[in-house]
Amino acid sequence: MLVKICGITSKEAAHAAVKSGADFIGFVFAHSKREISPADAASISQYIPASVKKVGVFVNETIENMMQIAEVVGLDVIQLHGDEPAEVAEQLPYEIIKACPAEKEAIENLKQYPCDYCLLDTPSKKSRGGNGTVFDWNLLDSLQLDYSKVILAGGLTPENVKDGIEKVNPVAVDVSSGVETGGQKDVNKIKQFITNAKQTRKDEVT
């Protein structure tokens, strides 16, 4: 089971995630309480081994800015978390995660999107992800998804991640607020989340 710890803003949190076995470290370069500057992300990235993929999260950003930030930080993956058309993804020479609200119509449209991973998150009108609420996993039962590409997100915690994995059977899980205490990444919660997620089944190699 692959694990992505998103919204990293400190070396301590990044170190905890790497040490505990995270496969992806996510930096948010969009308006958010977890937003980080490219310079700070680059500083943290120096301590992330090449075996852990660095993900940049963007919302309706220009291709030029994404490319520039990716180069500065040393990103491996770009996560498109807005309304980016397929043409944007096709022009980015990186692995692509396309985030999608867990709604039937949106997921159906996503099936033709040129991406390496599909991140399914809880729908929200207030912000793009990081809301800490779970969507109805049963919604996915009637949709024919390629689960080798599905990243499950939305309200996951150390306590419910096993249930989410068993129900949805994704290739990866993504967490941000679920491993925080008082709005800050909690080292113990990061460790417990990764441990619980990886106890469910062997890691997949993609």
Range of the domain at 83: 2-198
Query: Is there a catalytic annotation at residue 6?
Result: yes
Number of domains in the chain: 1
Region of 11 (left: φ > 0; alpha: ψ -120 to 50; beta: rest) is: alpha
Residue 6 within a domain: yes
The CA distance from 19 to 132, in Å, is 24
Please pick, among 6, 100, 115, 118, the residue that the annotation labels catalytic. Answer: 6
Q: Give whole-number Cα distances, 15 to 41, 61, 144, in Å.
A: 13, 28, 37
Note the pTM of the prediction, 2 decimals: 0.92
What are the E-state strand segments in the chain? 2-5, 24-28, 53-58, 77-80, 95-101, 117-121, 150-152, 172-175, 180-181, 184-185
Look at residue 205 and tell me if it is in a domain: no
Residue 106 located in a structural domain: yes
Cα distances (angstroms) measured from residue 165 to each of 78, 147, 206: 24, 11, 17
In a domain, 174, yes or no: yes
pLDDT single digits (tens) 38-60 = 999 999 999 999 999 999 999 99
Q: Is residue 128 part of a domain?
A: yes
Q: What is the pLDDT of residues 146-182, one digit of tens each?
A: 899 999 999 999 999 999 999 999 999 999 999 999 9
Look at residue 86 and tell me if it is in a domain.
yes
pLDDT tens readout for residues 3-37: 999 999 999 999 999 999 999 999 999 999 999 99
Indicate whether 111 belongs to any domain: yes
Query: Does position 206 have pLDDT exceeding 70, yes or no?
Result: no
Domain at 102, CATH number: 3.20.20.70
Q: Which one of the listed residues 23, 76, 121, 174 is annotated catalytic?
A: 121
Confidence (pLDDT) at 124: 72
Mean pLDDT of the chain: 92
Least-confidence region, from 17-21, 69-73, 107-111, 118-122:
107-111
Q: In this structure, is residue 206 part of a structural domain?
A: no
